Amino acid sequence: MASPIRQLLALITQSVETLEAACKYSGMAIPSLDEPFTPLSEEFRANPEAAEAARIISAAALQLEAIVSPPQVSLYRIVNGYLKSSALRVCLEAGVTEILREAGPQGIHVQEMALKNGQDPQRMARFMRFLATHHIYREIAPDVFAHNRISSILDTGKSSAAILADPSQKHDGTNGFAALISHQLDLGFKAAAYSWEHLSDPTTMNSGEPDTSAFARAIGSQETLWTYLARPEERFRQQRFSIAMKGTQEMHRPESVVQAFNWSKFAPDSLIVDVGGGVGSACLALAPRFPQFRFVIQDREEVVAQGKELWKIKMPEAIYSGQVTFQVHNFFDPQPQHDATVFLVKNVLHDWSTDHCVKILSRLAAVANHDTTLILLEMVLPLATSERNSDNKMLEAPSPLLANYGATNDLGYNFDFLMFLEFNAQERTQKEFRELLGLSGWEFVAMHWQTGGDTSNIHYIEARKPV
């Protein structure tokens, strides 16, 4: 039998051939690391074979590195992860991304950069060289840096002069990705420093309350992230967080809510209740395709107001005809909709500990009948080992890769840790979702997977009342 590194090499070779053939057939190019990101550079992932091949190449390369690198070097990449985060935060907040975009492909010397952002050029060179060593930015000549594919996605699209003159407006009107990174490198980073203190304290180690999280310990106050952001002096962070949440929605294709589930199986005039539905982004994808359905979008009063304004712009006829209505509702309170065909719960449960999730889902079970379908749209974490005995097994990587595709597929685990830090909450495995449903009066029916190559780990969980 071939050695593990030979098996990994064979996977890489085969997958490179698949990727190149798929891209050639589709007329798409494999992106260049040295060129700034453009949406067109991601078009090759629309081909499932190409996307899956790219995923396997990444997983195999990282696993190969783990085998042949000295273990202390591999370990220190984790130990010193906070240093990379610190360097990236400095560059992000110092307007480096925008300055490099304005400089163009020829790059800019750190001395000239310092004239724009007021930072010490020698220190900036050190931070940027550290990041360039990990393929974030490029050092194209001594102390001269330029963008690459990875660093360019942090760009707000605004002028460096504007954001440095008034940082409070930096993220307004952007796609939200830079805001998300800024939030995590700020509040998430600070909360992470208190993980062990949180878990070693008997008063908080088993808590599922959002006001006793690692974040609460970091700010020195027993309050939730929501109440902290509501402070008048935290208006910038609150606005940044709101923009960041819009950015996370942009990371998932709107049509996925339509494609990943057989909505056409429901009868005309079915009532879809979007619980904690925000401004109704899921229903915005569903309503035009299923005009025979009725939709109720439930959320807090201020969110409902935002949603109504959005729908008046995006799909006013749905509001005026009554196909779509908004309802102010706290999902911990009794559910007012007693005739729902579908309860849709999208990206809600990961914000809450198990006890709170049981309360949310139990409220829905209390008014559901045996024809009611519960659909959870949540991130489902795969295991690092094969689930061979599962009757609804998730897509697994080919051997000898880790079943979950390893570090190339770690986005879900990152968000899981962030949920722990900020809310005492979590992302969940399939087993944990099954247990959660059983505790709250529901019965697991099926899991609906995304296509090969998808790295979001977002899946649809279908449930019903037990017979």
The helix-helix angle for 81-93 and 71-79 (nearest 10°) equals 40
Residue 399, classified by CB atoms within 10 Å of its CB into exposed (0-12), middle (13-18) or buried (19+), is: exposed
Closest by CA position to 211, among listed 402, 425, 42? 425
Residue 70, classified by CB atoms within 10 Å of its CB into exposed (0-12), middle (13-18) or buried (19+), is: exposed
> Is 350 annotated in the active site?
yes
Residues 29-43 as b/e (b if ≥16 CB within 10 A, e otherwise) read eebeeeebbeeebeb
Joined together, the tokens standing for residue 267 give 């009868």
Q: Looking up tokens 């090759």, which residue turns up?
A: 44
Active-site residue, selected from the candidate residues 183, 198, 329, 350: 350
Closest by CA position to 271, among listed 378, 377, 371, 376? 371
CA-CA distance, 181 to 189, in Å (whole number)? Answer: 10
CA-CA distance, 36 to 22, in Å (whole number)? Answer: 23
Contact 84, 131 (CB under 8 A): yes
3-state class (DSSP) for residue 272: strand
CA 270 to chain centre: 30
Contact 293, 269 (CB under 8 A): yes
Backbone conformation region of residue 104, classed left if phi is above 0, alpha if psi is from -120 to 50, else beta = left
Cα angle 251, 253, 258 (rounded to 5 degrees) comes to: 145
Active site residues: 350
